[in-house]
């Protein structure tokens, strides 16, 4: 997987954290947030509102939540797709060109606001081809 990592940090599941990774051309942003109860990944235009949201986890449901994790946001070469990696496993992908998001939880079933992810958020390994 070829990516440009624009944000990285240490995640302790269930402890508040916000990690923002901007696309190399700074048009788009992806934000991971653990609010202490849930982890979400958001797609937004750099100076605009949130366009889509992907549920990553419920903190109580994470078996090894006491272990520190390495979290990264990495962008495709064209800056139009971003992947969320936790301990080097892809948990979510946003494709800003196609206005689509995928996550391993598949939740929410579809985007609540507008054109993004009308097909749903069900995980597809094929989404990783955006980073080939």
Write the pLDDT tens digit of every residue in 68-78: 999 999 999 99
Structural tokens at position 72 = 């990264």
Q: What is the pLDDT at residue 12?
A: 98
Q: What is the pLDDT at residue 100?
A: 96
Q: What is the pLDDT at residue 91?
A: 98
- CA-based R_g, the chain, Å: 13
Q: What is the pLDDT at residue 18?
A: 98
Contact 116, 42 (CB under 8 A): no
Q: In what order do the strands lie in the sheet with 4-11?
A: 4-11, 69-75, 81-86, 89-95, 100-103
- Residue 132, number of CB atoms within 10 A of its CB: 8
Structural tokens at position 109 = 């079933």
Q: What is the pLDDT at residue 125?
A: 97
Q: Is residue 84 helix, strand or coil?
A: strand
Cis? peptide before 108, omega within 30° of 0: yes
Which residues of the chain are under the pLDDT cut of 70? Answer: 110-113
Domain ranges of the chain: 4-131
- The pLDDT tens digits of the residues spanning 103-120 come to 999 998 766 667 899 899
Q: What is the pLDDT at residue 113?
A: 60
């Amino acid at each position: 997987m070829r990516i440009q990592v624009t944000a990285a940090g240490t995640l302790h599941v269930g402890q508040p954290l916000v990690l923002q990774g901007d696309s190399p051309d700074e048009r788009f942003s992806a934000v991971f947030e653990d609010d202490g109860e849930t982890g979400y990944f958001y797609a937004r235009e750099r100076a605009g509102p949130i366009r889509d949201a992907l549920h990553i986890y419920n903190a109580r449901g994470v078996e090894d939540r006491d272990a520190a994790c390495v979290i990264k946001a990495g962008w495709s070469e064209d800056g139009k797709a971003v992947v969320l990696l936790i301990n080097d496993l892809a948990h979510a992908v946003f494709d800003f060109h196609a206005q689509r998001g995928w996550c391993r939880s598949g939740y929410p079933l579809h985007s609540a606001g507008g054109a993004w992810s009308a097909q749903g958020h069900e995980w597809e390994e094929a989404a990783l081809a955006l980073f080939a």
